[in-house]
Structures are given as C-alpha cells and as structure tokens.
Amino acid sequence: MALHFNPMDPEFLADPYPMYHRLRTEDPVHHSPLGFWVLTRYEDVVAALRDPRFAKEAIAAFVAARFGMTPPGLGLSMLDRDPPDHTRLRGLVSKAFTPRVVEVLRPHVQQIVDGLLAKTRDAHAMDLIEEFAYPLPVIVICEMLGVPVADHERFKGWGLDIARGLDTIMLPPDSDVGKRSMASRRALSDYFRELIKERRAAPRADLLSALIAAEEAGDKLNEEELLATCILLLVAGHETTVNLIGNGTLALLRNPDQLARLRDNPGLIGTAVEEMLRYDGPVQRTARIPSEDVTVGGRTIGKGEMVMPFIGAADRDPGQFANPDRLDIGRTDNRHIAFGLGIHFCLGAPLARVEGQIAINTLVQRLPRLALATDRPEHRESLTLRGLKSLPVTF
C-alpha cells in the first residue's frame, strides 16, 4: 500500500506508533499532501529542535494565511517566540520552575494526591482522568500562579479548546478548531485581565504578582505578553501533566509485569516516569518554519515551509532505543525528547516529573487491586497532545 499519512484517521489517533514506524522506514522526511513536512527519525527530530534556522515566530502568520484569517492580535507567548524575545520572556518565569524550587513542593503535592484518593476510597472505582489526573496539576499551577483553584471548572473548557488549537495547522481550512481556540484565548484573556486588576491593587506572594511587577517596571513585559504568559503557564501547566499521569498509568495497567515491578521496587519511579514519557508521551509533535532552505535526510525543505518534528516517533526509533515498543521502567539509557530540546525545552519539566512520580507511585503502592474497567479507553481528539478522554478504573 502507498504510504498516506492522515493525522485525522481515527486509527492513527488511537495508536499512532505503527504509522510512525512506517514513516521512519519508508519515508522519514515525508512531504504530506496536506502541506507540511513530517520528520520521524530521532536524529532528524533532534537536529531540527537544536537548529536555530528552524524558527517558531512565523507559524502564527502561516496559520492565519492558510485559514484566510488576519494574524491574531493577541500577544505571542514564549512558546511561539524566537530569540531575543523568547529569551527575555522565559527569563521572567524560569526561576519559579527550577528543580530546586520544585523539590520543595513535594510534600504539598503528596498532600493533594492523598486528598484526591481519599475522596474515591469508598467507591472502589473512579475516572482516573476526571477525578485524579486532571485536578492534581490544576491545583498546583493555580496555587503557583495565584489563580483561585475554585475557578478551574470555569477555564477547563477554554483550556481544552486552546490545546486543541495546536492542531490547526494539520486540519482542513474549513475546520472551526482555530476559531474556537481563538475565542477561548480571548475569554481566558478577559478572565486574567480581571484577576490582574485585583492583584495590582493587592499583590501577593505568587507568580502572577511577580509578572505584574515586571510589566509595571516597563522594560521586561508589556500587557499583551503578560496575558499570553499567564495563559501559557495555566494551560501548559496542567494539560500535559494530565496526559503524563493518564498515559503512564494506562501503560502500566497494560503491562502487568512492569506494574508488579514498580510495586515491588518503588525506588524505580524516577526511571519509570522517564520511560512513560518516552513510551507514550503527552506531546507528540511540534512545528517549525525554516528561515532558509535546509537539507534534512537528503531532501531540501524550502524556506517558509511548515515542518513537523514528531517527538512521539523519535522516541520509538529503534536506531536510538533498544526494543522501543517495549515498556521497560528500569531503562537507564533513555535520552528521550518528550520535553523537547534546545531553547524551547519544556520550562515545567521539573514540576511535571515531580507530579508524575508522586501521583503514579502513590496509585501503584496504595491501590494493589488497581485495574482497567474498560478494554478500549477513548483518546482525546487531538493530533498534538496525546491523552485520554477518560480512564475508568477499579481498585
């Protein structure tokens, strides 16, 4: 059969890894009829993520042109910026997410996990996503930012729309995903404007107040950038960790030998979480636009063309990982790129690791009868972020 990569195929959404293997083997630098390049080999993906010629800022205009829209008036976050703006914006928040700062949060994260499990104890069943994987990182990032935790139901739908909006460049031009994402960004901006007004009047010891102080200083941050940074931290601060906990738990339940191994050796949780990130990572792909013609794997990618390095494919490349389709929670030679590489390496990686380690290890150790309550868990309709709509379990 001719190779036809269709990211909207329900089979691909349910399990993208067989298609990644075909692409890597048959056409590792694949030009899709949908109008973008697909990279699937580890070495090519790593090279693209490290190469400053593969830029991000041109993506907003590319998407706007493809969908016949004017470029969004909303400010771009650090995720969508190139240096020097990326460097300036990242520097404003990076100190809040260093491993040393995040380590201090461990006891509090454990306390939240314990509270969430206590609520479900008598039921002996739960939707692991809705009742556990989602609330944990939401509570943590809300507390760090200074957003009222009680408001999380208000912005839950907005966050899902914004996350889904990452798929816009792979969708047909008549899709309304981009418009819904933009509407939710505006709604969340309005929400933050009100919160910022309150915090200007009464600053607190939180990240939002620190960002407002930087904006008021006048040379570090303007209002649109302040809003874009708040939206990025809130949405990215929980969406991907929900998927890490959900995907990781599902992988363990489908590999009972590894589940038993972790239960018997809780000290393996560090390498176990790294393996879960490699095996079925929360972020499957990213995007770049080269600022000049670039040759990758013998093929020339033209200046201004859309390139998609598939992280999920790179992390199953047999050229880099022995037995890549096998979950091995003791894997030590594991240079996965689930958090990206280069200047855009995930700012929240230390926090995601701590949350994932505590959440998954506590589940495994406290719930010896933990089991899937469905044979076919449903994945979210997302081409960029890989995660579950729900994960019914019994214990």
For 171-202, the DSSP string reads S-TT-SHHHHHHHHHHHHHHHHHHHHHHHHHS
Element housing 371 (H / E): strand 371-372
Average pLDDT taken over every residue of the chain: 93
Give me 284's structure tokens: 């499957």
The SS3 call for residue 295 is strand
Give me 286's structure tokens: 């990213």
d(CA 240, CA 246): 10
d(CA 317, CA 25): 10
Q: How many CB atoms lie within 10 A of CB 19?
A: 21
User: How big is the chain by its Cα radius of gyration, in Å?
Assistant: 21
d(CA 273, CA 361): 9
Taking alpha carbons only, the member of 146, 161, 237, 157 closest to residue 192 is: 146
Please answer whether residues 339 and 346 qualify as being in contact, where contact means their C-beta atoms are separated by less than 8 angstroms.
Answer: yes
pLDDT of residue 94: 92
Give me 308's structure tokens: 């998609």
pLDDT of residue 213: 92
pLDDT of residue 72: 52
Beta-strand runs (E) in 182-324: 289-290, 294-296, 299-301, 307-309
pLDDT of residue 38: 97
* C-alpha 12 chain-centroid distance: 18
d(CA 249, CA 253): 6
d(CA 225, CA 78): 9
Segment 139-171, tens digit of pLDDT: 999 999 999 999 998 889 999 999 998 888 888
**What angle, rounded to 10 degrees, do the helices at 349-366 and 135-145 form?**
140
Segment 175-220, tens digit of pLDDT: 888 889 889 999 999 999 999 999 999 999 999 999 999 888 877 8
Q: What are phi and psi of 39, to 5 degrees?
A: -105, 130
d(CA 141, CA 147): 8
pLDDT of residue 380: 92
Class of residue 281 by CB neighbours under 10 A (exposed 0-12, middle 13-18, buried 19+): buried
pLDDT of residue 61: 84
d(CA 128, CA 134): 8
Residue type, 376: R
pLDDT digits (tens), the chain, 395 positions: 678 888 888 899 899 999 999 999 999 999 998 889 999 999 999 999 999 999 999 998 887 777 666 555 457 899 999 999 999 999 999 999 999 999 999 999 999 999 999 999 999 999 999 999 999 999 999 999 999 999 998 889 999 999 998 888 888 777 888 889 889 999 999 999 999 999 999 999 999 999 999 888 877 888 899 999 999 999 998 999 999 999 999 999 999 999 999 999 999 999 999 999 999 999 999 999 999 999 999 999 999 999 999 999 999 999 999 999 999 999 999 999 999 999 999 999 999 999 999 999 999 999 999 999 999 999 998 989 999 999 999 99
d(CA 81, CA 101): 25
The CATH number given to 10-394 is 1.10.630.10
pLDDT of residue 171: 82
% pLDDT > 70, the chain: 97
pLDDT of residue 3: 85
In the chain, DSSP finds a helix count (H) and a strand count (E) of 17, 10
The SS3 call for residue 126 is strand
C-alpha dihedral (170, 327, 255, 386), degrees to nearest 10: -20
d(CA 77, CA 230): 9
Element housing 54 (H / E): strand 54-55
* C-alpha 132 chain-centroid distance: 17
pLDDT of residue 367: 97
